[in-house]
Structure 1
């Protein structure tokens, strides 16, 4: 199983969309506190709809608590704009964790430097992609590779 990890997510609509994406792809979602919203937020509820019953997800108090649940040998990839290593140049495998930071600031340096950083190329203008879009792009690439180009 592939894992999507949201470190201190801020936007309830993004988290709801990510939860739906994880549900339809069969990907486990990890959310690391603190959150920038409450799980009763109307924006979250509107975006997630009834998908909470279809997704496996786990709430972690902090980064250390999350790391204690990661099996030995599991690979973690930090999605960031602060590297040149393109995410499609990785050969993903079952059990990999795709780690994303908060919308307003991305992953802190201490996380980016403690795991493998990768980036989604953005040839146009702008600083970054929307978090839920980034998660969708990354998760589909991992599953495409693992499913032999959907053959």
Structure 2
């Protein structure tokens, strides 16, 4: 279905909760390093409840590695407060990627300038 991409997430319970959501949606969760926690952190798995072991999870070593495999195109949606586009205006399709930046930094400025 969908691909949820968390770029350099910092808060373990946020990631765990999004992982649980992904399982329920049938979505793949992509985590882009560096992470602000260990993937086995109890706060991650606690927030993910029993769903975490069923999660379709892909971990990338860097955002550049992710972009090399999945260049930003019409199937990519940026979740950011730095745009006038609203999420409900997007034309989501099966297989799309929704990118979320770090809770503390957001997405890289160059990505936003070129695509938001």
Tell whether the structures are fold-level matches, with TM greater than 0.5: yes
**1:84 to 2:84 alignment:** yes
Partner residue of 1:2?
A: 2
Partner residue of 1:141?
A: none
Cα drift, residue 73 of structure 1: 5.7
Could you list the runs of 5+ residues in structure 2 that have no partner in the other structure? none
Partner residue of 1:23?
A: 23
Answer yes or no: is the 8 Å Cα contact 2:31–2:60 preserved in 1.
yes
Cα drift, residue 89 of structure 1: 1.1
For the residues of structure 2 that align with 1:74 and 1:86, how far apart are their CA atoms?
15
Answer yes or no: is the 8 Å Cα contact 1:74–1:97 preserved in 2.
no
Answer yes or no: is the 8 Å Cα contact 1:4–1:30 preserved in 2.
yes
Answer yes or no: is the 8 Å Cα contact 1:74–1:95 preserved in 2.
no
Q: 1:72 to 1:107 in 2, by over 3 A?
A: closer
Q: 1:50 to 1:74 in 2, by over 3 A?
A: farther
Answer yes or no: is the 8 Å Cα contact 2:45–2:52 preserved in 1.
no
For the residues of structure 1 that align with 2:102 and 2:72, how far apart are their CA atoms?
26
SS of structure 1 residue aligned to 2:114:
coil
Alignment map for 1:1-150 (pairs within 5 Å):
1-70=1-70, 75-115=75-115, 117=116
For the residues of structure 2 that align with 1:26 and 1:98, how far apart are their CA atoms?
14
Q: 1:102 to 1:21 in 2, by over 3 A?
A: same
Aligned positions, number: 116
For the residues of structure 2 that align with 1:70 and 1:78, how far apart are their CA atoms?
13
TM-score, scaled relative to structure 2: 0.89
- Residues 88-139 of structure 1, C-alpha deviations (whole Å, 9 max, x = no match): 1121111211000111121121122333x3xxxxxxxxxxxxxxxxxxxxxx
**Structure of larger gyration radius:** 1
SS of structure 2 residue aligned to 1:59:
strand
